[in-house]
Amino acid sequence: MAEVSKEILDNTYEALQSVKQSGKIKKGVNETTKSVERGMAMFVVYASDVQPAEIVAHLPKLCEDKKVPFIEVPSKLDLGKAIGLNVQCSAVSVENAGSAESSIKSIISKITGKSSEKKEPQAKEAKESKEAKKEEVKESEPKKKE
């Protein structure tokens, strides 16, 4: 991935702090991977100093396949601090930006070069699909005689 400017890095860390307070975030490579696969992620951040690199190597391709914007930051320690941890964090997934939504959208447009479309409808569509299936099951069940 291309080198990210210091301004974008600082904005990303600040936005993640806000998300931690008012939104929903998934921490760690496994949780981040699940979040992207389930269509819940709207933005992914992962560290480039993870050893071995194979631990996070699948994230860029997965994000591209699922059309989730992502950014690589240089330090897992700084990433952990940004989300309020006293330990390192290799990857995070933003599922709900909360009050940082405009900041996240701004970062996404800077790194992708285009304005961001909201990723949340994908999650809503999945929820609506589940609800529709429940309705179908209810309708197909035989009605009890009173």
Q: For residue 86, which amino acid is it?
A: N
Question: What domains are defined for the chain?
Answer: 6-138 (3.30.1330.30)
Going by DSSP bridges, is the β-strand pair 91-96/43-47 parallel, antiparallel, or unpaired?
A: antiparallel
- Token pair 């429940």 is found at 134
pLDDT at 61: 96
* Cα Rg of the chain (Å, integer): 18
pLDDT of residue 136 exceeding 60, the answer is no
> In 3D, which of 92, 100, 97 has the Cα closest to residue 70?
92
| Alpha-carbon distances of 2 from 67, 74, 94, rounded to whole Å | 18, 12, 21
For residue range 28-56, list pLDDT tens digits in order. 999 999 999 999 999 999 999 999 999 99
Q: For residue 138, which amino acid is it?
A: K
pLDDT of residue 2 exceeding 90, the answer is no
